[in-house]
Amino acid sequence: MKGRGAVRTVGQPRWAGMLGMVLLGSISTQASAASDDNLIMDVSVGIQHEDNLFRLPDGEDAPKGRADTIVIPRARLGYQQEFSRQTFRVDASAFSPRYQQHDTLDYHGYSLSAAWLGQLGRRWQPQLGYQKSYELSSYEDVESGIMDMLRRQHVNGGLSYGRQGRARVGIDGWLDQKRHGSSTYSQLDLDETGVGVQGHFASRRGAGATLRFESHWIEYQEPLISTLDYRLDKLRLRLNWPISAKMEASADAGYMRWTFDDDSNQSSWLGGAALRWRPTDKLALGLNYNKDSREPGYNLRVAYSEKAGFDASWQPFEKWRLHGTATREWSQFGLSDTTATIRKDVTYVYRTELEWSPFDKFSSQLYWTLGNRNSSQASTEFDYQTIGLLLKYSY
């Protein structure tokens, strides 16, 4: 099923009135907004053009074409309060993407979060968190034209003991739930339960070491013959150290093991390294590499990836900043090369952002992204370009 909905008649673009409403709301709300710094409110509108909206391979088209322009108004409200060494945070965002060609994809989405960061006595730090979101799944994972709305809920909590910035031990746990709106992808609905324990030590000079073990239990809600629930265990040692006042390095290494319901298992190493260098006050550079498991819930096959990247940030003037990234990600879906359904992808993504903040409450960003995926399954290959402008007002 590809590109749904009838072609809209030509007239005043829907986003013109929408943009006016957003700007009008920003002006009226500014007059009545609370002056308390603990309260954060902002509105934004983004205009984004995609030349390959559904991430189609070369030579394949959609009924309304491959390209589209999307207008995305968004409003956010956040609040943070400290009381008797307890910190409470809440945050809510609402957004409403509007597609100028494929208008059957229009929807209202949201993101909600709440957190408590506690302090009991001198050494105990408990914490609790909750997140909930509703948004359209990426077309890198969904067939062209299918509107798969993803609902996600996440609850987490933890308790740590020790001196802040020195030696600490802790335990944490989480529950994660994913539900797909499209019946085509309901087989990806899952519940994840996890628990982790870790110890951390930091030196007076800023170096640190963290040893962490965690277990993830993945349970699919509509299991298929080809789908097995599993447990994923990870053991990781992470080190970070300042090389100089302008350079910092980190590295981690470990082991991950998948154990499936049929008692079969697979394992692999994990880890990576990163280097951050700030040669001047206006220029920052970074290199990174990481191998880890991919998040479940977007593909039936268990997967892992290796990702390498470079990033640079340059601020020639106080109100201007230029940021660029380049990444190469190698992914494998399925754990054994003897599996007939094995899939291997290599994805390149290049992104440039130009930010301008003429005054404290207003910011803008012009961005360009170029992406390419090569795959052992030709039907999943694609190229795309994205150009966008984001305007944001905070008060």
**Helix, coil or strand: residue 50:** strand
10 Å Cβ neighbour count for 139?
20
Q: How far is C-alpha 363 from the geometric centre of its chain's CA atoms?
A: 22
Listed range (277-281, 333-337, 387-391) with the worst mean pLDDT: 333-337
Output the pTM of the full model.
Answer: 0.86
What CATH number has the domain bearing residue 328? 2.40.160.100
pLDDT grade, residue 72 (50/70/90)?
very high
Residue 3 lies in a domain: no
Note the pLDDT tens digit of each residue in 115-124. Answer: 999 999 999 9
Residue 5 lies in a domain: no
Q: Which residues, at least 6 apart from 37, have a Cβ–Cβ distance to it below 8 Å?
A: none
In whole angstroms, what is the distance from residue 233 CA to residue 240 CA? Answer: 23
| Structure confidence at residue 226 (pLDDT) | 57
Which residues span the domain enclosing 303? 14-394
Largest CA distance in the chain: 67
Spatial CA neighbour of 82 closest among 115, 129, 121, 128? 115
% of the chain at pLDDT higher than 70: 88
pLDDT grade, residue 5 (50/70/90)?
very low
Listed range (186-200, 295-309, 376-390) with the worst mean pLDDT: 295-309
202 CB-side CA count, 13 A: 12
Rounded to an integer, the average pLDDT of 24-44 is 59
Residue 9 lies in a domain: no
Q: Indicate the DSSP class of residue 225.
A: T
Residue 143 lies in a domain: yes
* Mean pLDDT taken over the chain: 88
Residue 1 lies in a domain: no
pLDDT grade, residue 262 (50/70/90)?
confident
Q: Indicate the DSSP class of residue 187.
A: G
Is the confidence at residue 162, as pLDDT, over 90?
A: yes
| Structure confidence at residue 336 (pLDDT) | 57
| Structure confidence at residue 163 (pLDDT) | 83
Rounded to an integer, the average pLDDT of 353-365 is 96
Is the confidence at residue 46, as pLDDT, over 50?
A: yes
Q: Indicate the DSSP class of residue 167.
A: -
Listed range (113-122, 162-171, 345-354) with the worst mean pLDDT: 162-171
Residue 2 lies in a domain: no
Burial class (CB in 10 A: 0-12, 13-18, 19+), 258: buried
Distances (CA, A) of 314 to 174, 322, 335, 351: 38, 5, 40, 14
Residue 30 lies in a domain: yes
Evaluate whether 65 touches 90 at the Cβ level (below 8 Å): no
Ranges of H-type helices in the chain: 14-32
Note the pLDDT tens digit of each residue in 365-382. Answer: 999 999 999 999 898 999
DSSP notation for 109-162: EEEEEEEEE--BTTTEEEEEEEEEEEEEPPTTTS-TT---EEEEEEEEEEEEEE
In whole angstroms, what is the distance from residue 36 CA to residue 91 CA? Answer: 16
Residue 167 lies in a domain: yes
Name the domain count of the chain.
1
Evaluate whether 233 touches 257 at the Cβ level (below 8 Å): yes
